[in-house]
Structure 1
Amino acid sequence: MRALSQIIEPKTNHPAYINHRIRHLLAPFVLFDAGRVKGKNSLMIDWHPHSGVATVTMPYDAKLIHQDSMGHTGTIEDQGLQWMASGKGIWHKERYEANQKKNDIGIMQLWVLLPPDEEVACSRYFNLKNSDIIQVGNTRILLGAYKDKQACHKISQDISYLDINLKAGESWYFQHKTQSRGFVYPRTGSLNIGGIQLNTEHLGLLEENTQELKVTAITDSQFVLAASAPWPHKIVHQYGQMHTNLLALEIASDEIRHQAKQLQKSGELISN
């Protein structure tokens, strides 16, 4: 059975679990921000750019209101999903609003590297309602596939991103012939993986192999699993921009500067 190779504990006021120190172990997953913002019923994240990555965002006990430099707006409801492939560059801003009678906001955002033929393409995105997401038993298929079912939107990357709900004592299994790296993250509850306990809001890195994974819930638990084939390309980065080569990064940087000027002209973005 597959086991955990490392556990990353949450840090106060620092929601990023994947950083430059372990990025090479998990690529194409290069950032994972997750956790609860407590004592707030709203949270604004102002204009900022991305390129070369897809941001995959799931709010819980909250909704997400999105606006971007391509003129798109939208609301992602509680436990819905947004996939935003930034391509050669996009600016966006986000506002989270807690559900009624809640005073904290749950956020999970995963960054996935785009392959060379997509990293300088035009940006694209889709939003899914909770009810749109394909479910197999206790497993919601956010991206990729599980058993004989596919997520409702197909992407080019060989990844699975699954959201699982287990009652105490229940077990869940996963195996894929190519997806040999990844992680498990319980947003509620605690899990047993290979005899190791993984607690709420701790990220467990999986051993890099294709053995079967068995997850047993110690308490009622909600968790995500992200799994992928290893990333075969280099990574060059600059803040929220991540690419496979310097030329792609330069192309994207030019596009981001151009979009910034357009946002400044419209009054949306205030220049420093």
Structure 2
Amino acid sequence: MRTILSLTALALLAVTAEAETAETEAPTCAEGQAVSFEDLAAAHKAILFGDYHGTQEMPEAFGDAVAEAAGGDRRVVVALEYPANWQPDLDAMMAAPDEVTALDVFARRSTRDGRTSEAMRNLLLQLRALKLAGADVTVRAIDMARPAPKARSRAAELSLPPEIDQQRGLRNIIMGLNSVEACEMVECDLLMMFSGNAHTRLDVMDSASYMPTEGEITSYREAAAGNIIVRKMPTASVYLSHRGGYARNQSPDGVFGLRELTPTAPGYVAEDRTYYCTGERDRYTHVFSVGPVSPAMGK
């Protein structure tokens, strides 16, 4: 069996793209304009948060955003980058009688790339606490489970442009469809996705897959999960940036460890913990700096 590694998933920022015209565009605000979370929620049905796996601060920032959304008496769906077949464990964790039991339910799960770090487990506990306090929050695992026998037929129903490689880009398509369906299932007021920032883009991007055993690189075009979502509803994509620091995650060659990070916050981001417009409709519509980042323990 040939091993295929997706360079899109491994190199979250090293991709180029062209914008696709969204069917459900919201007005674009000027680059550097500060906006509130309520501004975002009022203008969009979905808000996607682009994570860099393995920090303490990014899951924490997302949890705070969900708490703010739920505090406005909204019916919120939280879409997380976990395989869909993890849903029973997520449900059990949300319904657990206490935090110890909740953590035990999820203890055997590991993605080995930072998505099951202690910071992510703390996020799940925060979501559980919101539900216990009466917030209308539904937590869904939206990543493609393997095997996924019906995935290709679901993707085909979208009638995407022929330039999009639906086979190699199937994971992103299914992530987008699963997120939209999770919102539709409960008639949500707001869909909030927390996923790697290559998935939360709103465009169709150039990507590549690498077959290590043969040394072959295959280039193709794929729709990010955000591009699937924005075709269905008005969507904001928030790029979670930082001021530098460290993260613990997986490198492109599969090694898990500590990474030193170069700051990614644009120059117009004057204050941390504030939403700023990028002035674009493609890729990311907004940026939010979490400040300096520190590594999350666990995998």
Question: Do the two structures share a fold, i.e. TM-score over 0.5?
Answer: no
Higher strand share: 1
> TM-score, length-normalised on structure 1?
0.32
Tell me: higher relative CO, structure 1 or 2? Use CA pairs within 8 A at least 6 residues apart.
2
> TM-score, length-normalised on structure 2?
0.30
